[in-house]
């Protein structure tokens, strides 16, 4: 419901949206990527092995079903 003194109800919404977008931009600038954090925690080699294992092809192949 619109208030009597609120001639442009979307102006406040637009301002809030821009403030939230700016806050998200600041958040992205300050936090390193997940891969960078993992590399720092466990080292480059282990981090690459873990990421490779998590993103690899884990589907069953027809040769696996024949056993």
Q: Which three-class secondary structure state does DSSP give residue 31?
A: coil
Q: What is the mean pLDDT of the chain?
A: 80
Task: Please give the pLDDT value at position 48.
Answer: 92
- Secondary structure, 3-state, 40-64: HHHCHHHHHHHHHHHHCCCCCCHHH
**CA pair distance 2, 12, nearest whole angstrom:** 12
Task: Please give the pLDDT value at position 36.
Answer: 93
């998200």: which residue's tokens?
Answer: 24
The backbone torsions φ and ψ at residue 61, rounded to the nearest 5 degrees and listed phi first, read -100, 155
**CA pair distance 67, 36, nearest whole angstrom:** 40
**Mean pLDDT across the stretch 8-19?**
82
**Mean pLDDT across the stretch 32-56?**
91
| pTM for this entry | 0.44
- Tokens in use for 7? 């001639």
């Amino acid at each position: 419901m619109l208030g009597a003194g609120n001639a442009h109800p979307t102006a406040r919404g637009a301002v809030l949206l821009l403030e939230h977008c700016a806050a998200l931009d600041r958040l992205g600038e300050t936090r390193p990527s997940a891969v960078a954090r993992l590399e720092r925690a466990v080292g480059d080699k282990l981090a690459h092995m873990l990421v490779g294992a998590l993103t690899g092809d884990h589907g069953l192949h027809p040769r696996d079903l024949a056993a």
